[in-house]
Structure formats: structure tokens, C-alpha cells
A and B are shown apart, each in its own frame.
Chain A
Amino acid sequence: MINFLKKHMFDKYRLDKDFGKNPEETVSPEEEVAVNEDELFCQAEFDEKKSEIIAAPRYSYWKSVWKTFVGSKMNIAVSILVIFIVAFSFIYPSFSNYDPMDAPYINDASRKYLAPSAEHIFGTDDIGNEVFDVVWEGARNSLIVSLAATAIDMIVGIIVGAIWGFSKKMDKWMIEIYNVISNVPFLLIAMILSYILGNGFGPLIFTMTVTDWIFVAYFIRTQVMIIRDREYNLASKCLGTSTWTMVTKNILPYLISVIMTYISRQVPALISYEVFLSYMGLGLGMQYASLGRTISNYTSYMRGYPHLFWIPVSILAIISISLYIVGQKLADAADPRTHR
């Protein structure tokens, strides 16, 4: 083998070197160079460990989620919009001096029903208040209610749902409770509770979450059941892992994405819930502005002064849709299948 290689290498060598030379002048390959075989072939050291090294950069789940999310310009744009809306609706009302129980311009006919202009950005309403002030005050309260209710729903729902999904005993009676609750008309519960508890933030959030958590729990239960019997959970069981650790380490990390999807639907849904309840007169009450109450107040002017109706509705739509999109995109990014 080595001789064969040598011969070929020398043949080639001679061809290159002797090109255009007189054949007599060429030196025979034997004399020319004494090639050291060791130089030609040195033994590559075989290191078994080397084949185990992973060359890919270190993977971190949350870093990948972040990278995937900010990798899209659209995501960044919508996120900025959401942050701006939320921040604005929390900051602006504290500077606006708007008080829903007060009507300082009620006797000033020249300030009523003004169309949007540079001076009155969203125009003015039937009692001379700035629609801009009313809408942002309402947006803030609606956001507070829906975010708080979502948080309560999700926390209670995830904890109960995770245990529910694991425990076959609990499943039997929880399913019955679920069936009963999901068949009672929600409006009935809301009406009864509003008569008992009255109006205000606490009662409204309670009304919205008192039965709603069970739907979250049911959703989580189904998800848990799907992955509960997967082999890696069996492996954990064989290693003596407790049910609680299984939930937090084996199950919930797999559910981040679907939970994000759920939240991204829950926040806008609860905003509409609040709007609906306020519209029905079961919401926050007279002393608080909310998007629902604002829209319900202004509905009668839909024909005569359309800006009064369409501005709060548009703000509601923008808030709901942008929150939904951000939630969906976060859910996508939280799915490791989208990670590169």
C-alpha cells in the first residue's frame, strides 16, 4: 500500500517538476528524496471522548423563547403597542383629574358633543367631559379587572387541574362538579352575586372567577392526562419522584405553550366579560368608569354623535386584539418546536 502510494506520488512529482525538461536530466525517484514514512503517515490519536463532544452552542429554553419571539419584527411592533397601551392607561388617568361621579361642565352647552379636534382629542360627551379621559380611565379599570381575574383563574385552575389530571379518584367527582357548573347559566350566577355582594372591584372579580376557574382546571386536566402516562413520567416514577415534583418538573414545563395560548384568549375574553356585565348593569358600579360602562352609556349616541360610540369600541378592539396577538406569539415562541 505504502509503496503504491509512494510510486504514485513520485510519478506525479516527476511530471510536475520535469515538465519541459530533457528526460535525461531527470533523476530517478529512488535517488531523489528519501521520504520518511513517518512523516507521510502519522497515526491520528483516537480519542473516544472527542466523539461525544456536542458542538452546538449551549441550549437554554428561556433564551430560545426570547430569541424566537424577538426574531420577528411584527412581534416587536405589537409588543410595543401593548406595552404603550397598558402603560398609558395606567399612567394617564392619574394626571387627567377625571372623576366619573363629577360633571363640572354639565351646564356648559358649548362643551357638549364636540367632535374630535386638536383641542379635544377624542371630542367631548353628553355632559361635556373629555372622551379621551373617560376612555383611558375606563381602559385602566377594565384592564385591572381582567388581568386580576385572569391571574386568579389561571393560578387556581392550574393547581386544581394538575392534581385533577393526576388523581383518578378526584376525577370521578370533579367531572360531576364540572358538569353541574358548566350547565348553570353564568348570567344567573352573576346576577345573584351582584345582588348579594354589591358593586366594586372585589365583587366583580369574584363574580368573574367564581366558576370560571373550573374551565381552566378542566383544560389543564385534559392536557395533564395526555402527557401523564408518557414514558419519561414512568421513568420518574421508577426513580421515586413524588407526584408534586412530577407536576412541577415533568408536566407543567411541557404546558407552558398551551397555557400561554390559553392566557392570550382569557385576557381579551375577560375584558369582553367585564364589558358585558357592565353593559347589563352588573359591573363595577356608578363610581367607576370602565370600557363596558362607557360603551353602554354612549350606545344611544351611535347615530347622532358616532365618535362617542366608536372611539371606546375601537380602543376596546385594539387592546383585545393586540393582547391576543402578543399572547399567541409568546405561546408560539414557548413551543420548542419553533426553536432553531
Chain B
Amino acid sequence: MSTNNNEREVILSIRHVDISFDIGKKKKFKAVKDASFDIYRGETFALVGESGSGKTTLGRAAIRINPCSAGEILFNGERISGKISRKQDRNVIRNIQMIFQDPAASLNERATIEYCISEGLYNFHLYKDEEDRIAKVDKALEDVGLLPEHKSRYPHEFSGGQRQRVGIARAMIMEPQLIIADEPISALDVSIRAQILNLMNKLKKEKNLTYLFIAHDLSVVRFIADRIAVIHLGKIVEIAESEDLFRYPVHPYTISLLSAVPMPDPIIEKQRDSIVYTKEEDDPEASPREMREIRPGHFVYANDEDMVAFEERLKKLELYNAENQ
């Protein structure tokens, strides 16, 4: 896809994926349209967009909960969308795990923490004997900063942050390669968000993980993501390296998202006011848009006319950034 990333190994490749839901009889709602991006092994790739933009839908397509209506998804070079063998399906489950948005809803309230964490171990028989399983559960609890005596507790006895750590432990115990974290901190109290992010970063380093990190707020991902994709109404509008996106945001929707982040940057501050973002998709006269590389590794959804405006904006930003270096 990009020049400077050629040497890196692609772990997950989303290629022209459409995802639609049936609503009523014969009616379809396209929640994700023509999404394409690659995630490289070892990176944290963030998917950012407002509520209802299709982030969860796309993330769930990667673990085969949502079927793709067009396009394909490759994991380690093999297709995992559509009909696949049972062996391949089990392989996907083992190697791609999910951390859920709402820690209150994603744990089985009638099962002990021990069962919640062991569930994957049981399903894949990933332990030699009972002793080994207990040891693994204890280790997983310890990894996320919980105590072995929590095993016999029930989820409702835990705080939100603790529950989310149980959710993380349950995913980690499978020793996956890729973790899809669907807004793992948005349901948590502000005071413990950093704790969970730090924990996820620590585990990533220790276990050589790759993250697809879903968030609706750019400020959250700035410090943990290597690359960021911005999704708007099911369309990916801009993909760039994290710092690049913050320094050279070109797509108007990205800029409007940045308004949620306080920016000590007069140019962007000014642009915020001057740019009213209209739904470009609705304009039937515009020539078709596609993802175009505007800077090395920086893609934006645009057509020829857009490119002119975007490049002009980019020049201004480059000038500004050079002055303020």
C-alpha cells in the first residue's frame, strides 16, 4: 500500500469490504462501504469515528461475527471472510481476540471469574491438566493486576475497571496475534482509563501483540496508536501515521473530529470555524472518490477536485509546521 511500509508484514488486510444489515424485508442498510486498509504486525492501528459510523461493525467482521457483503478480509495472507473451513474458523478464533466496549455487559454474570477466563482454554483444550489450567488463570489474572483469589468471585463484585481487566485477561489467555479492542475504555471512569491503556501497552510489548483499537475520540488514540484510520458514515476518509494525522489533517471530517481535541494550533483552530463539513457522498455531481496518497503513507478519500483543495491545505500546514519546529 505505501512505500515505507513495504518491508513490514501485513497481519490483517481489509480489502474493499462492504457490510450490510437487513432491515425489514428486502431492505438493506450498508453500515460499512468499501473499506480498505492493512494492519502490520506489531503495530497499534486505530479506527476512529463518531457513534454509528460502523467501527464496531467493521471490527466484528474481522472476527467473523458480521459477514461481509462484498470484498474480503485476509489474516496472515489467508482469506477469513465468507465460507471457510472449520479448521480455519478455529484458527481465527484462537488468533484474533476481542476486548468489548462494555465491561458490564460482556461478562457472564452467572459464572465465576475462573470460568470466564478459562472459557477459551476449555474450548481449545489449551492446558495439560487442571493444575496447569489453574496456573494459567492465575498468571493471566496477575498479568492484568488482579489477584488469584478473585477466581471464585462473580463479575458483579468487581468495579468497571476490574471487569475490563478480566475481559483483557480472557482475551490474552488465548495468546492471540491480533486483538480487536472495541472502545475498551469508553465505558470506564476517566480516572482509570489511563490505567487500562497502560496495561494494554504493557501487554502488547510483553506478548508481541497487534491491536486494532477502536475509539470515537482522537485524543485517546494519539498516544497509543501508530497509525489511525478515520471512518465517517461507513466510509474510511483518511489513513495516516498517528503524528502525521495530527500535524497534517486534510480531510474536513478529520478536522471536525479534531475539534473534540483541544489543539494549541492556530491554523487548525481557524480552519475549524471556516470549514463546515457537508456530506460529500450526497452530491451526485461529484466525480467518484477513492483513497489517494497525499503524503507518503497518508491516504485520503478524494477525487480530483478535492485533491486540489487538500493539497493546498497540506501546503499551508507544512509551512506552519516548519515554522514552529
A239 touches B123 (CB 8 A): yes
Which residues of B from 66 to 105 have beta carbons under 8 Å from A? 90, 93-94, 97-98, 100-102, 105
Known: A52-B147, A235-B167, A238-B98. 6 other contacts (CB 8 A): A48-B145, A232-B106, A234-B106, A239-B119, A249-B108, A253-B110
Contact pattern, A 220-232, Cβ under 8 Å of B = 1, otherwise 0: 0000000000111
Which residue in B107, B115, B157 is a CB contact (below 8 Å) of A56?
Answer: B157
* Residues of chain B lying within 8 A (CB to CB) of residue A336: 109, 156
Interface size class of A (residues with CB under 8 A): 20 to 34
> Chain A interface (Cβ within 8 Å of chain B)?
48-49, 52-54, 56, 58-59, 61, 230-232, 234-242, 245, 249-250, 253-254, 336
Bound-state CA distance A11–B146 (Å) is 47
Which residue in B93, B102, B109, B157 is a CB contact (below 8 Å) of A240?
Answer: B93
A237 touches B100 (CB 8 A): no
> Chain B interface (Cβ within 8 Å of chain A)?
63, 65, 90, 93-94, 97-98, 100-102, 105-111, 115, 119-120, 123-124, 145-147, 149-150, 152-154, 156-158, 162, 167, 170, 174
Nearest CB of B to A234, in Å: 6
5 shortest A-B CB distances, which residue pairs?
A: A253-B110, A240-B123, A239-B120, A231-B105, A240-B93
Closest to A242 in B: B123
Closest to A255 in B: B110
Closest to B154 in A: A59
* Residues of chain B lying within 8 A (CB to CB) of residue A234: 65, 100, 106
Which residue in B106, B119, B157 is a CB contact (below 8 Å) of A231?
Answer: B106
* Residues of chain B lying within 8 A (CB to CB) of residue A249: 108, 110-111, 115
* Residues of chain A lying within 8 A (CB to CB) of residue B93: 238-240
A-B pair number, CB within 8 angstroms: 82
A239 touches B170 (CB 8 A): yes
Bound-state CA distance A239–B119 (Å) is 7
* Residues of chain B lying within 8 A (CB to CB) of residue A48: 145
Which residue in A53, A240, A245 is a CB contact (below 8 Å) of B90?
Answer: A240
Nearest CB of A to B193, in Å: 16
Bound-state CA distance A234–B105 (Å) is 10
Given known contacts A52-B150, A54-B150, A240-B123, is B107 in contact with A235 (CB within 8 Å)? yes
B100 touches A231 (CB 8 A): yes
A sample of 17 inter-chain contacts (CB < 8 A) reads A48-B145, A49-B147, A53-B149, A59-B156, A59-B157, A231-B100, A238-B63, A238-B98, A239-B174, A240-B90, A240-B93, A240-B123, A241-B119, A241-B123, A249-B111, A253-B111, A254-B109
* Residues of chain B lying within 8 A (CB to CB) of residue A245: 123
Bound-state CA distance A245–B110 (Å) is 13
Bound-state CA distance A52–B157 (Å) is 11
B153 touches A235 (CB 8 A): no
B111 touches A54 (CB 8 A): no
Bound-state CA distance A227–B169 (Å) is 24
A52 touches B108 (CB 8 A): no
* Residues of chain A lying within 8 A (CB to CB) of residue B157: 54, 56, 59
Bound-state CA distance A191–B157 (Å) is 55
B152 touches A58 (CB 8 A): yes
B120 touches A240 (CB 8 A): yes
Closest to B123 in A: A240
* Residues of chain A lying within 8 A (CB to CB) of residue B147: 49, 52-53
* Residues of chain B lying within 8 A (CB to CB) of residue A242: 123
Which residue in B97, B153, B174 is a CB contact (below 8 Å) of A58?
Answer: B153
Given known contacts A49-B147, A232-B106, is B100 in contact with A54 (CB within 8 Å)? no
Nearest CB of A to B209, in Å: 16
Bound-state CA distance A52–B142 (Å) is 11
B105 touches A232 (CB 8 A): yes
Bound-state CA distance A239–B124 (Å) is 9
* Residues of chain A lying within 8 A (CB to CB) of residue B146: 52
Bound-state CA distance A236–B65 (Å) is 12
Bound-state CA distance A238–B116 (Å) is 12
B63 touches A231 (CB 8 A): no
Which residue in A53, A61, A232, A240 is a CB contact (below 8 Å) of B107?
Answer: A232
Give the interface centre of B109, B124, B158 by most chain A CB atoms within 10 Å.
B109
Bound-state CA distance A59–B109 (Å) is 12
A238 touches B123 (CB 8 A): no
* Residues of chain B lying within 8 A (CB to CB) of residue A54: 150, 153, 157-158
* Residues of chain A lying within 8 A (CB to CB) of residue B149: 53
* Residues of chain A lying within 8 A (CB to CB) of residue B119: 236, 239, 241
B100 touches A235 (CB 8 A): yes
A61 touches B123 (CB 8 A): no
A61 touches B106 (CB 8 A): no
Bound-state CA distance A242–B93 (Å) is 12
Nearest CB of A to B208, in Å: 20
Which residue in A52, A61, A230, A254 is a CB contact (below 8 Å) of B162?
Answer: A52
Bound-state CA distance A254–B156 (Å) is 14
A230 touches B145 (CB 8 A): no
Nearest CB of A to B60, in Å: 8
B124 touches A240 (CB 8 A): yes
Closest to A235 in B: B106
Closest to A236 in B: B119
Bound-state CA distance A232–B100 (Å) is 9
Give the interface centre of B93, B108, B120, B174 by most chain A CB atoms within 10 Å.
B108
Nearest CB of A to B146, in Å: 6
Nearest CB of B to A316, in Å: 37
